[in-house]
Structure 1
């Protein structure tokens, strides 16, 4: 069972054709991207979409950190190629910092 759980948000460009293409890429994600995700300590990664709004849920082991994942990604040419390609489809949230994509959401409720 994962030790950490995160939820992040991002928008897609409001274009039905681009959204469909983005979804298709994620049905056929590159093997190097899957390996990169797993190598970082992420055990489960789900992306949900409604309209052009996306939500990513990550479950990771205790070794995972966003800083370490960023460092790993920065030195991985295939991840950099994927990220550059994804910018064609993705649109930063209005309050994102320059260059920032997925934004960590604040957990405000948990049913127990």
Structure 2
């Protein structure tokens, strides 16, 4: 399954550069956490302060709720998420308490 999610960054060039630097070499525990829970691919794209994450998952292994619970119970993942939140900001459409917001696919060339 493919998911597309959106999030914003704080509008600060130095913070944006630092955020990108962190993502050029994510912590090994973060990569392991993603793979362990069925995330088979992930890309984050940026335009200005808007981020779009494209995440591919193995349907047999990925469970969104289990993935979230596992992240909440892992101190290193919580540490990473807290660090990332220092750079991130909710989009204007983000509900309270949510970071990455699922986007709606409105066109797919592969679909008739």
Shorter-chain TM-score tier: over 0.9
CA distances 1:10-64 after superposition (whole Å, capped 9, x unpaired):
0000000000000000001100000001011000000001101000001100121
Select the residue among 47, 61, 64 that pairs with 2:62: 64
Which residue of the partner structure matches residue 90 of structure 2?
Answer: 92
Moved over 6 A (4+): none
Gaps of 5+ in 2: none
Q: Distance in 2 between matches of 1:76 and 1:39?
A: 13
Which residue of the partner structure matches residue 106 of structure 2?
Answer: 108
**Alignment RMSD:** 0.8
The alpha carbon displacement at 1:98 in A equals 1.8
Gaps of 5+ in 1: none
For normalisation by structure 1, the TM-score amounts to: 0.94
The aligned length equals 109
Q: Distance in 2 between matches of 1:7 and 1:97?
A: 17
